[in-house]
A and B are shown apart, each in its own frame.
Chain A
């Protein structure tokens, strides 16, 4: 297990470095951020002075070297736009994205598994078939369109929910969260549903397929024959056995939900890191983009580790095979 862990860590560090280099050089090639940032009124001398102030006059290899040296010390550079440490900017915004992703995840898993189970147990019923048709819809609706429609219906016409932004926040152990206020939830609901819909459909299909397979297994028949209640058979024996594929996929999807909730965050003006990324790309704010993608890789690594650990909890066979290896 330890060897495995160390090997994973080594691979991850390599991915991190290669990715940082690619992004660094890529953005350098696009253009000079000063061209975008500086006031057009600035004369040629001031344009030159700004380039020097931001360290952009140095040759690429020197900028890269400085970046790598500083990065080793945990300093990923200062945002060209905001003048603050890039990592700090991202960490400030991370809680907003995390809570959005988590709520969407919980929604996707609970609703998805429940509906998937239902559809799997009664595949030919009208409801079962409607669920499956609905999930196709969930797959195919584009995110931004759904977001705009939800805004149109719930915010503009019915005026039940706000159209965007984040609600009141409270400090919880130094992290600003809107999960503890009603206002926060009212702002969170629409973006979370938008973000969750695709994942929900995915989970429904996974859960249904799993259920249909598991429901025919001998141990399920045996459990029924033993006289266990239908609820116990479904929620213990079947549910536990369909969770493995669900956990794998959701683990991967959580990473992409955190890192690339860009569209949802933009439509709902949600102050998360996705919006920060877009703004930073537009302004060629290289330190922020590099730091962002490095952090994304880091999150993916963490999630993959967590998924592996969850496997062994859910499936004793995984524990056994690893103990042998």
Chain B
């Protein structure tokens, strides 16, 4: 029996030797930390799904690495008046199965988006502003919106166009099913890569679409391997199993950077980590020693907390330098970010003075809520913030829990102060403003994640005005003013922007993306 075993062992070892030497020149293997939940591009609005759909499908408009809008299946677009948009579609584009692309495909796609069964996060939020659609001719499309909708092009950049001819009859006249996309039969797009194989939890294989309208892609074949644990993902890169990995853990970055066989690429992301404070009522769950008052309704206390936290120290010591201290909710240089704001200076003396002035010379007791598996070093950052606050007299503890528990508790308003993050999917300032600090309003769709219930009518009016202004320069100015308003009112406390890293084998380069997506199109040969 041990002879058989020896043979097997020897065979496997020999094979491993051969394998290690056969990395094909035009094949790319990417180890990803999280895998898409479906191939269906309209099923789940989630980072890995959105990154994948960019490979197989195209939107009318695409977002580049800095999330600026670029022509996709639409060559150009313009507002005809306040509520009408014209999109001029690209001619001569075909889907992977040869069916031609035209306006009917777009109309069909947008009608399907809100009708995906069991969708855990619908893309309908990007299409519900469209009141009607009309194909003036096969390559000219008119959209009508009920009011001015300057973000329509940005919203449409999230919608992958599917082929009506291919999918319409797949489900007996009903809307096509997600399963059809997952098994590949309906996963037919116009994108740079074609679907080849998807084995959940194991691999996702794509092949080049040589006829891509944007030029043939760089890689013949791309394989995504989900490796959820950080250590094994790094090991897979070091052993040569994979060529690129995303999100190498921060503690391994110095080691990877010093490895001559590995290159590390990092870039600023659109994700801000912030502290939100309950400003709703006098009753608040996480504070003690204030005679039943909620100290965070007082702007002086909020300012004191902001001044008490040394953001630069957090970036240096906790984040290992792989983050950038934040002055507002979106990094400067992105659309709508104010250039006049700067990072709050660390000033514990001023913080103490402000607390005394507000009537808390001896501070009070506070608990900060935080997830411990959602953002980079989330719990450690909260611990650091708690220590800074304790130094100025606010005796602060940390209540950390796993994300599924944390988000439920946060949404039930169980925290007075909590740490969370926000990635601006649209890549511009209205996204964080609308979600995090606008007064919650179900009808307008505002304040969906404003669990501090900050409310500032002046700010609301400014956001509303911006979102009804079609002129890009004017809208940007309004957003910048809104951003300054909330930062100066300490409505929310930005801590830092996450920096996203990718590690590749020597000879490859990765263009970092602000949206944190891991894409084969961003990998090039570095020579």
Contacts and interface: CB of A to CB of B under 8 A. Distances in A.
Given A41-B431, A110-B1, A269-B229, A165 B44 contact: no
Contacts of A35: 404, 407-408, 411
A242 B199 CA distance: 42
Given A42-B121, A269-B226, A189 B408 contact: no
Nearest to B420: A40
B363 interface: no
B121 A44 contact: no
B201 interface: yes
Contact of B200 (A89, A111, A159, A188): A89
A50 B179 CA distance: 19
Interface stretch (A131-139, A178-186, A226-234, A313-321): A178-186
Interface string B114-149: 000111111011000000000000000000000000
Interface string A243-271: 00000000000000000000000111101
28 contacts: A35-B404, A36-B407, A37-B120, A38-B120, A40-B423, A40-B448, A40-B449, A41-B426, A42-B121, A42-B122, A45-B442, A46-B122, A46-B124, A49-B122, A50-B121, A80-B118, A82-B37, A83-B43, A83-B118, A114-B2, A155-B236, A155-B238, A159-B16, A161-B16, A162-B19, A163-B238, A185-B8, A186-B13
B225 interface: yes
Contacts of A164: 225, 227, 232, 235-236, 241
A84 B423 contact: no
A33 B404 contact: yes
Contacts of A50: 119-122
Contacts of B289: none
A156 interface: yes
B20 interface: yes
A156 B118 contact: no
Given A44-B440, A164-B225, 6 more contacts: A40-B423, A44-B442, A46-B125, A83-B43, A271-B226, A282-B373
A142 interface: no
A156 B38 contact: no
A154 B9 CA distance: 13
B209 interface: no
Contacts of B423: 40
Interface of B: 1-2, 5, 8-9, 11-13, 15-17, 19-20, 37-38, 43-46, 117-122, 124-125, 178-179, 182, 199-203, 225-229, 231-233, 235-236, 238-241, 373, 402-405, 407-409, 411, 422-423, 425-426, 431, 435, 440-443, 445-449
Interface string A280-309: 001110000000000000000000000000
B12 A189 contact: yes
Contacts of A31: 404-405, 407-409
Contacts of A38: 45, 120-121
A163 B120 contact: no
A243 B348 CA distance: 72
A40 B118 contact: no
Contacts of B446: 43
A151 interface: yes
A152 B235 contact: yes
B228 A269 contact: yes
Interface string A104-118: 000100110010000
Contacts of B117: 53, 83
Given A40-B449, A50-B119, A148 B231 contact: yes
B202 A33 contact: no
Contacts of B404: 30-31, 33, 35-36, 282-284
A160 interface: yes
Contact of A183 (B19, B202, B231, B443): B19
Contacts of B425: 39, 41
Contacts, number: 218
A199 interface: no
A100 interface: no
B239 A53 contact: no
Contacts of B239: 151, 155-156, 159, 162-163
Interface string A148-178: 1001101110011111111000000000100
Contacts of A189: 9, 12
Nearest to A148: B231
Contact of A182 (B15, B20, B120, B124): B15
A304 B182 CA distance: 37
Q: Which 4 A-B pairs have the closest CB atoms?
A: A31-B408, A43-B445, A271-B201, A271-B202
Contacts of B235: 148, 151-152, 155-156, 163-164
A92 interface: yes
A102 interface: no
A312 interface: no
A54 B12 contact: no
Contact of B16 (A39, A44, A162, A283): A162
A81 interface: yes
